[in-house]
Structure 1
Amino acid sequence: MSKTNPGRFFEDYRIGQVIRHAVPRTVAEGERALYHALYPARHALYSSDEFAAASGLEGSPMDDLIAFHIVFGKTVPDISLNAVANLGYAEGRWLKPVWPGDTLRAESEVIGLKENSNGKSGVVWVRTRGLNQLDEVVLEYVRWVMVRKGDAAAPAPEPVAPELAKSVAPADLVLPEGLDFLQYDFDLAGEPHRWGDYQIGEVIDHVDGVTIEEAEHMLATRLWQNTAKVHFDATFREDGQRLIYGGHVISMARALSFNGLANAQMIVALNGGAHANPCFAGDTIRAWSEVLDKADTHAPGVGAIRLRLVAHKGRAGDHALRGEDGKYAPQVLLDLDYWALMPK
């Protein structure tokens, strides 16, 4: 009997199946330092204990996307080891800050299955929760992924495609306990723009670009213990290229968005997202954002802003999203819809 794990294939999933993922991960300041080395991340709340304390927190929490990547990485051996592509996200919420010293684990429930017409793969929907050492849920989200079939002759399951909310309602946003932006220092944060300075429909070009390197993306993907073959094994794809982990693109675009959105401090919800086209080493990522909505919160001096973050490999100032056929333009890499918290 083989002791190695080939990973799950599409026919191995069942509706209602709950998977507890290995291996718990204790996070420390090293993850923060390496994250800030891999991406040009500069949001003040995640860089300074003093800034965070002035904002009502006990100290600087881990970057929201560190928590996301760690939880996501836990799921890969069970959900997407044999994936063709990660297709999208919905109903994501950050429920508690993650602090240095916390231990994170993850579990997922299969909530949807649909075999593709080619009979060689299918789409799997899972709802994933990240929990800390106190069994508190710190993060939850739905994602769907296209997974290969191990046996093409395996019968197709009854198709189930879950109905997912188009966005997280402002009333369902969870803010960190004690968060208070009444004493917010805009000089130290890096920009003067408040919540009230942004208008729905406004588009912000983030100006800068970063060229993705092969070794850099593999280091980042290993940091999150993401074992998906498409990111490391150049023989796994017919074109012989390693696919850049979609989360690497998310973090790069979020970091680039600092220029124009330095005060969009905390991500609190992931409304939806799509990895529109594959990203490969050598691509230069640029980003722009569109303000989709705004909402008040109960926290002193804190407003919520809903943003569309688009990463692309086009020329500077290119804001094309879709072609005349309605499909994503070929240069678009990421279309991410999220809620963030900003001083009023």
Structure 2
Amino acid sequence: MIKTNTGRFFEDYAVGDVITHAVPRTISGGERAMYHALYPARGALYSSDEFARACGLPASPVDDLITFHTVFGKTVPDVSLNAVANLGYAEGRWLRPVYPGDTLVSQSEVIGIKQNSNGKSGVVWVRTTGRNQHGEEVLNYVRWVMVRKYKTTPAPHPVIPELAAAVAASDIVVPDGLTFAAYDFALAGEPHRMSDYAVGEIIDHVDGVTIEEAEHMLATRLWQNTAKVHFDAKNRPDGKRLIYGGHVISLARALSFNGLANAQMIVALNAGAHANPCFAGDTVRAWSEVLDRAETDTPGVGAIRLRLVATKGDAGVLRGDDGKYHPDVLLDLDYWALMPA
């Protein structure tokens, strides 16, 4: 009997399958310390218990993307171990904060499949849910991946899920108790409220970070992401290890502090695309476009919708004349964040 896990291939998925992912993970302050060492993260709400308490929370939660990476990493052995590419995200919502001491588990439901015309791979859509030790949902999102086939089989009947273009502002969850009534803009690092941003405004975050092979490998192991393309240099024809897309997301999010320091909490993921591959030696820069603003049911807490672009090139450049992503663009991420109104 074969006891090792070779991962699932396209023909191993069927719509309606529910996959419980191993292994539960208890989050500690260590994840936060390592996260802040790997990325230039400086958000005050995720750095200071006292700042968080002044904002009505019992303590500083772990960074929203720590929750994402932890939940995501659990899914890799069952969803994307044999993936060709991680294609996109939709309908993501952070439903409650995660604190040191919480234990997270992940579960995914297959909601769509479609074989590619080449017959060698197909696209699989899954809805993943992360829960804490109380069974409460902390995060759910949809992602779709292109997965290799391992044998020649007839194409299954395609099922392509209908996904919302964006999470409605009314569906955003504001954490219980959160208030910005006594928000300290000096300690947060910038004076800008949501009302200071205009829809269509482009913000160049100025700084850049050159990715090193060692830090990428450390980060990917930290999140227990086992995808072969990130570790095995022989897995790709070019002999390069692909940088985990979440590593690029966190770098870009951290860089966005310069200009968006008060966009404190990511609460929804509307859409996302890893536009081009990223490799060690690439210097990542970031820019944002303001897509929308909305009030929440919590007085003084606003929601700002942002397009976050990670690039090796210039701010404001997203697509070429052919309508395709510019070769320098690494990430195009559409999300909602909470900030003082």
| Structure 1 and Structure 2 fold alike (TM over 0.5) | yes
CA contact (8 A) 2:286 2:315 kept: no
Alignment of 1:142-291 (within 5 A): 142-151=142-151, 153-291=152-290
- Distance in 1, Cα, partners of 2:293 & 2:316: 22
Q: What is the match of residue 315 of structure 2?
A: 318
Q: What is the match of residue 7 of structure 1?
A: 7
Deviation at 1:300, TM superposition (A): 2.8
Secondary structure of 1:235 counterpart: helix
Deviation at 1:319, TM superposition (A): 1.9
CA contact (8 A) 1:179 1:300 kept: no
- Distance in 1, Cα, partners of 2:27 & 2:323: 42
Any idea what the Cα deviations from partners look like across 1:302-329, whole Å, max 9, x if unmatched? 1000000000011xx4321111111101
Any idea what the Cα deviations from partners look like across 1:158-186, whole Å, max 9, x if unmatched? 01111100000000000100000010000
Runs of 4 or more consecutive aligned structure 1 residues displaced over 4 Å after TM superposition: none
Deviation at 1:18, TM superposition (A): 0.3
- Distance in 2, Cα, partners of 1:117 & 1:239: 24
CA contact (8 A) 2:199 2:293 kept: yes
- Distance in 2, Cα, partners of 1:16 & 1:50: 45
- Distance in 2, Cα, partners of 1:19 & 1:114: 19
Q: What is the match of residue 296 of structure 2?
A: 297
- Distance in 2, Cα, partners of 1:310 & 1:190: 22
Counterpart code for 2:209: V
Counterpart code for 1:189: A
- Distance in 2, Cα, partners of 1:140 & 1:173: 12
Any idea what the Cα deviations from partners look like across 1:216-268, whole Å, max 9, x if unmatched? 00100000000000000000000000000000000000000000000000000
- Distance in 1, Cα, partners of 2:188 & 2:46: 11
Alignment of 1:34-73 (within 5 A): 34-73=34-73
- Distance in 2, Cα, partners of 1:5 & 1:187: 51
- Distance in 1, Cα, partners of 2:322 & 2:243: 26
Deviation at 1:330, TM superposition (A): 0.4
Q: What is the match of residue 334 of structure 1?
A: 331
Deviation at 1:150, TM superposition (A): 1.1
CA contact (8 A) 2:11 2:149 kept: yes
Alignment of 1:96-107 (within 5 A): 96-107=96-107
Larger displacement relative to structure 2 (154-163 or 251-260): 154-163
Q: CA RMSD in A?
A: 0.6
- Distance in 1, Cα, partners of 2:323 & 2:284: 22
CA contact (8 A) 1:253 1:285 kept: yes
- Distance in 2, Cα, partners of 1:155 & 1:6: 22
Larger displacement relative to structure 2 (75-84 or 318-327): 318-327
- Distance in 2, Cα, partners of 1:282 & 1:133: 39
Secondary structure of 2:234 counterpart: coil
Deviation at 1:301, TM superposition (A): 1.3
Alignment of 1:113-128 (within 5 A): 113-128=113-128
Deviation at 1:279, TM superposition (A): 0.3
Give the TM-score of the pair, scaled to structure 2: 0.99
Q: Which runs of 5+ in 1 are unaligned?
A: none
Any idea what the Cα deviations from partners look like across 1:178-226, whole Å, max 9, x if unmatched? 0000100000000001111000000000000000000100100000000
- Distance in 2, Cα, partners of 1:155 & 1:135: 39
- Distance in 2, Cα, partners of 1:49 & 1:103: 20
Any idea what the Cα deviations from partners look like across 1:69-93, whole Å, max 9, x if unmatched? 0000000000000000100000000
- Distance in 2, Cα, partners of 1:35 & 1:102: 17
Q: What is the match of residue 135 of structure 2?
A: 135
CA contact (8 A) 1:61 1:100 kept: yes
- Distance in 2, Cα, partners of 1:343 & 1:51: 14
Q: What is the match of residue 111 of structure 2?
A: 111
Percent identity, please.
78
CA contact (8 A) 1:109 1:127 kept: yes
- Distance in 2, Cα, partners of 1:114 & 1:249: 27
CA contact (8 A) 1:16 1:110 kept: yes
